[in-house]
């Protein structure tokens, strides 16, 4: 649902046994290959997302609460 709306998709994961593998997501969303980048480390993925947007553009983090919690740690308080 979200992929068609995105200009860029960065796939990542946490080292959590229930986390989906970004490679599997990439395979299932083959129609969006041109938009996707795979960055295994979630914090590096967030840094890339921040560096890739213009002021006033939006970054959406979608996934488990574990992922969102880890990503929140990458932002200064």
Write out the H or E segment, with its range, that includes residue 65: helix 65-72
Model confidence, pTM: 0.84
Q: Per-residue pLDDT for 6 more than 80?
A: yes
DSSP letter at 75 equals S
- State how far the alpha carbon of 18 is from the alpha carbons of 4, 15, 21, 31, in Å: 26, 9, 9, 25
Average confidence score pLDDT of the chain: 88
Residue 77 pLDDT grade (very low, low, confident, very high; cuts 50, 70, 90) = low
């Amino acid at each position: 649902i979200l992929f068609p709306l995105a200009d860029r998709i960065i796939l990542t994961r946490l080292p959590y046994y229930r986390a989906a593998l970004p490679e599997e997501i990439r395979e299932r969303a083959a129609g969006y290959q041109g938009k996707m980048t795979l960055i295994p480390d979630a914090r590096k993925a967030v840094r890339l997302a921040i560096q890739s947007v213009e002021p006033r553009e939006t970054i959406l983090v979608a996934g488990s609460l574990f992922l969102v919690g880890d990503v929140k740690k990458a932002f200064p308080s």
